[in-house]
């Protein structure tokens, strides 16, 4: 079915293309069955890559690989919170330098589709919306509530001047700008909010810039997600041609004479923690359906062409769990940039399209990977003993405070109190998301909110007596990235012991983001402790491990987490993300070559305990390969590895 349609398409379209050009005064509009670039028929096959999931030093490498496959466009989100972590403080430097990323794409002959949000989803913390919005408990996000639209307007006033020079009409490579994302699935369906976004963006860039939306191709979703003057695009999962025809028919009712346009077409899928089997269509189905929709005249975007890594605490929560650190591991360009069989199949197909403006280039070489083997790690101490060194300024209160009230965005908060009465049953009705409980540093168990079928809000303490220190390390696994209800974090209710209130709490952020001293400013001091005579702490529970290793050359590597439980890894002061081997499926964390120095410091915060410490001599394996293992793990993911 594809070939006859392709012949018709080539006759009508193929000869109109030349090389990609970027010049002042260029236009991009909707024509009859096609987009028009400078008045001439134009099609795109694009791929999603997220600048915030790739180190800046590797942007050029990944974009060159995208160009080599034969795509002519890239698409990416702009997560608001990534650029405004504290209200009114904007950051467009380093890995946040959108202008530089766009310029690199242009140098690689790639157009761009930029998804402005303010909500973006993308399995990102809070869907990209800033956590600090939640300081106002009455805010209604993604609506025309002035408490939301006022900071959105401030954000767009900061963002769009960065975008402006890269618009097509200014000689840049941006074809279109997307507002919101999947709004048709959101409960509000707020007409005034949609028009506010459209008019705000147009007011800053001009009404001659083409805007678009993106929604599931169901009638109600497109209706609620669309707004007059903005081109509606859709999402599409590889199914079969009969299903696709029905979904495209729905799309057609909303685009008039314009072309089918699919902003997310999935060659793979992301992995949540705890997933035991791979999901996603086989590459053969992906390719068959891609050829079919292309033959119908569609423009479409592979989501993702390169998944990358959700470093630090940026992974969002998805229903009953959260997304793994490695993102879309089945993407055609692997997490570390390697070429996959899917890449070759896409490249082979694009090479058959007559007169395609960006024909495939030579296949890039795979990147160098280095195996460092075992790296010795020293157990510096438990969180109980190191509290004063690894926390920021603490706050006291009668009852526990939320992350938002503490001014903490993400990561871990240590809640601590001294017991004034004995008891056994500790109950916390509302804790988000995981609470690791200790008495005088000894693990007692965990409070778990909404993790599949393992949620629990009470545990039995062992010999809890007056005068003992009760510590609860709370982990924010990431705020909901889908629909974005107001997802508050921390201990959000009263804490009781044998049904009596436990009060007078001290709350401190672990490894604070904004307030020195951080752990990494005192690494040398902690390492110096090793020269002192002291008793090594037990390796169960929440401990901090530090080690060093020397570079073996310019290459990528991975932290093998299989002997560890659950925690966080830092390389030369950079948070490379969460590991959770007892949940899976991800069993190794990517360490890009750009982080490696001649001398390297490795810091691990382990929350539950690890098993690679014979005689308290601990080690980590730094290996030359990723590890995604789909399996049924026969233990609680909140217990130490067996």
410-428 per-position pLDDT tens digit: 999 999 999 999 999 999 9
Sheet of 28-30: strand order equals: 28-30, 35-37, 40-42
The per-residue pLDDT of the chain, averaged, comes to: 92
Q: Quickly state the pLDDT bin for 537 (edges 50, 70, 90).
A: low
Mean pLDDT on 55-82: 99
Whether the CB-CB separation of 443 and 540 falls below 8 Å is answered with yes
Whether the CB-CB separation of 327 and 308 falls below 8 Å is answered with yes
Kindly state whether residue 112 falls inside one of the protein's structural domains.
yes
The residue with greater pLDDT, 384 or 457, is 457
CA atoms of 448 and 74, how far apart (whole Å): 39
Per the structure, the complete domain to which residue 476 belongs is given by 382-510
Kindly state whether residue 421 falls inside one of the protein's structural domains.
yes
Burial 116-155 (b: 16+ CB within 10 A, else e): bbbbbbbbbbbbbbbbbbbeeeeeebbbbbeebbebbbeb
Task: Specify the number of domains making up the chain.
Answer: 3
**pLDDT value at residue 519:** 55
pLDDT per residue as tens digits for the range 119-167: 999 999 999 999 999 999 999 999 999 999 999 999 999 999 999 999 9
CA atoms of 244 and 286, how far apart (whole Å): 12
For residue 292, report the phi and psi dihedrals to the nearest 5 degrees.
-65, -50
632: buried, middle or exposed (CB in 10 Å: 19+, 13-18, 0-12)? exposed
Say what the alpha-carbon torsion angle 592, 629, 543, 507 is, to the nearest 10 degrees.
90
Cβ within 8 Å of residue 11, ≥6 positions away: none
Whether the CB-CB separation of 66 and 108 falls below 8 Å is answered with yes
pLDDT per residue as tens digits for the range 430-439: 999 999 999 9
pLDDT per residue as tens digits for the range 337-394: 999 999 999 999 999 999 999 999 999 999 999 999 999 998 888 888 888 888 888 9
CA atoms of 374 and 370, how far apart (whole Å): 12
Q: What is the DSSP letter of 37?
A: E
pLDDT per residue as tens digits for the range 288-331: 999 999 999 999 999 999 999 999 999 999 889 999 999 999 99
For residue 225, report the phi and psi dihedrals to the nearest 5 degrees.
-85, -15
Which residue, 381, 334, 311, 375, is CA-closest to 530?
Answer: 381
pTM of the model: 0.94
Q: Is the pLDDT of residue 193 over 50?
A: yes
**pLDDT value at residue 417:** 98
Return the sign of the alpha-carbon dihedral for residues 430, 435, 441, 444.
positive
Q: Is the pLDDT of residue 550 over 70?
A: yes
Whether the CB-CB separation of 358 and 72 falls below 8 Å is answered with yes
Whether the CB-CB separation of 467 and 416 falls below 8 Å is answered with no
Residue at which a domain ends, from 456, 483, 510: 510
Say what the alpha-carbon torsion angle 137, 143, 145, 148 is, to the nearest 10 degrees.
60
pLDDT per residue as tens digits for the range 79-90: 999 999 999 999
Kindly state whether residue 86 falls inside one of the protein's structural domains.
yes
Mean pLDDT on 451-457: 92
Kindly state whether residue 96 falls inside one of the protein's structural domains.
yes
Q: Do 131 and 254 belong together in one domain? A: yes
Q: Do 187 and 258 belong together in one domain? A: yes
Q: What is the DSSP letter of 267?
A: S
Q: Do 435 and 553 belong together in one domain? A: no
**pLDDT value at residue 613:** 78
CATH of the domain at 605: 2.60.120.260
Kindly state whether residue 640 falls inside one of the protein's structural domains.
no
Strand positions, DSSP E, 237-314: 261-265, 299-302
Whether the CB-CB separation of 42 and 36 falls below 8 Å is answered with yes
Q: Do 132 and 100 belong together in one domain? A: yes
Q: Do 398 and 501 belong together in one domain? A: yes
What are the structure tokens assigned to 356, written together? 């395609």
Q: Do 283 and 265 belong together in one domain? A: yes
Residue at which a domain ends, from 456, 488, 510: 510
Q: Quickly state the pLDDT bin for 269 (edges 50, 70, 90).
A: very high
Instruction: Assess whether the previous peptide bond of 485 is cis (omega < 30° from 0).
Output: no
Kindly state whether residue 417 falls inside one of the protein's structural domains.
yes
**pLDDT value at residue 439:** 96
Q: Do 397 and 486 belong together in one domain? A: yes
**pLDDT value at residue 413:** 98
Sheet of 423-427: strand order equals: 458-464, 423-427, 496-497, 500-501
Which residue, 172, 258, 158, is CA-closest to 209?
Answer: 172
**pLDDT value at residue 523:** 63
**pLDDT value at residue 12:** 33
Q: Do 440 and 413 belong together in one domain? A: yes
Which residue, 617, 616, 602, is CA-closest to 560?
Answer: 602
CATH of the domain at 224: 3.20.20.80
**pLDDT value at residue 319:** 85
**pLDDT value at residue 10:** 33
**pLDDT value at residue 632:** 86
Q: What is the DSSP letter of 164?
A: G
Q: Do 318 and 460 belong together in one domain? A: no
Cβ within 8 Å of residue 422, ≥6 positions away: 464, 465, 466, 498
DSSP 203-218: HHH-TTS-EEEEE-SS
Q: Do 301 and 345 belong together in one domain? A: yes
Q: Do 225 and 151 belong together in one domain? A: yes
Kindly state whether residue 364 falls inside one of the protein's structural domains.
no
Residue at which a domain ends, from 510, 526, 548: 510
Q: Do 503 and 545 belong together in one domain? A: no
pLDDT per residue as tens digits for the range 226-255: 999 999 999 999 988 899 999 999 999 999
Kindly state whether residue 18 falls inside one of the protein's structural domains.
no
């Amino acid at each position: 079915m594809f070939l006859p349609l392709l012949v018709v398409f080539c006759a009508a379209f193929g000869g109109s293309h030349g090389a990609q050009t970027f010049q002042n005064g260029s236009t991009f509009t909707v024509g009859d069955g096609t987009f028009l670039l400078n008045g001439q028929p134009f099609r795109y096959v694009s791929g999603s890559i997220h600048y915030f999931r790739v180190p800046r030093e590797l942007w050029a490498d990944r974009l060159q690989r995208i160009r080599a496959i034969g795509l002519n466009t890239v698409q990416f989100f702009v997560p608001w919170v990534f650029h405004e972590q504290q209200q009114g403080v904007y950051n467009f430097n380093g890995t946040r330098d959108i202008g530089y990323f766009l310029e690199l794409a242009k140098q690689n002959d790639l157009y761009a589709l930029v998804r402005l949000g303010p909500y973006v989803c993308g399995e990102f913390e809070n869907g990209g919306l800033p956590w600090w919005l939640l300081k106002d408990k009455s805010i209604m996000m993604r609506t025309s509530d002035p408490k939301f639209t006022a900071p959105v307007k401030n954000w767009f006033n900061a963002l769009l001047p960065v975008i402006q020079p890269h618009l097509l009409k200014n000689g840049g490579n941006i074809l279109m700008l997307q507002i919101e994302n999947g709004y048709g699935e959101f409960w509000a369906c707020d007409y005034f909010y949609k028009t506010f976004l459209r008019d705000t963006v147009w007011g800053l860039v001009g009404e001659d810039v083409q805007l678009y939306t993106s929604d599931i191709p169901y009638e109600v979703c497109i209706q609620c997600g669309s707004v007059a003057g903005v081109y509606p695009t859709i999402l599409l999962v590889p199914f079969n041609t009969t299903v696709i025809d029905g979904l495209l028919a729905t799309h057609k009712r909303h685009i008039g004479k314009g072309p089918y346009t699919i902003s997310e077409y999935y060659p793979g899928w992301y992995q949540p923690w705890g997933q035991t089997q791979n999901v996603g269509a086989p590459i053969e189905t992906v390719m068959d359906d891609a050829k079919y929709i292309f033959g119908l005249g569609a423009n479409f975007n592979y989501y993702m062409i390169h998944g990358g890594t959700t470093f630090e605490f940026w992974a969002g929560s998805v229903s009953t769990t959260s997304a793994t650190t490695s993102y879309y591991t089945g993407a055609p360009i692997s997490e570390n940039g390697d070429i996959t069989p899917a890449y070759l199949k896409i490249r082979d197909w694009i090479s058959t399209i007559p007169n395609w403006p960006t024909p495939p280039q030579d296949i890039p070489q795979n990147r160098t990977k280095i195996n460092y083997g075992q790296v010795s790690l020293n157990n510096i101490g438990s969180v109980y003993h190191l509290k004063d060194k690894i926390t920021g300024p603490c706050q006291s209160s009668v009852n526990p405070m939320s992350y938002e009230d503490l001014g903490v965005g993400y990561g871990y908060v240590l809640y601590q109190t001294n017991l004034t009465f004995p008891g056994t049953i500790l109950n916390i009705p509302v804790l988000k998301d995981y609470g690791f409980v200790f008495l005088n540093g000894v693990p007692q168990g965990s409070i778990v909110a909404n993790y599949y079928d393992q949620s629990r809000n009470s545990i039995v303490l062992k010999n809890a007596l007056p005068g003992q220190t009760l510590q609860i390390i709370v982990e924010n696994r990431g705020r909901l990235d889908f629909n974005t209800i107001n997802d508050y974090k921390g201990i959000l209710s009263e804490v009781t012991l044998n049904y009596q209130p436990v009060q007078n709490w001290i709350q401190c952020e672990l490894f604070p983001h904004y307030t020195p001293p951080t752990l990494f400013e005192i690494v040398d001091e902690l390492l110096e402790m090793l020269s002192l005579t002291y008793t090594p702490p037990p390796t169960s529970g929440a401990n901090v491990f530090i080690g060093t290793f020397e570079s073996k050359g310019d290459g990528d590597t991975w932290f093998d987490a299989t002997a560890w439980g659950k925690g966080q890894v830092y390389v030369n002061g950079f948070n490379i993300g969460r590991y959770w081997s007892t949940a899976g499926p991800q069993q190794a964390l990517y360490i890009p070559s750009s982080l490696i120095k001649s001398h390297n410091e490795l810091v691990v915060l382990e929350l539950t305990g690890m098993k690679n410490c014979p005689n308290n001599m601990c080690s980590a394996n730094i290996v030359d390969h990723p590890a995604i293992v789909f399996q049924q793990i026969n233990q609680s993911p909140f217990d130490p590895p067996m």
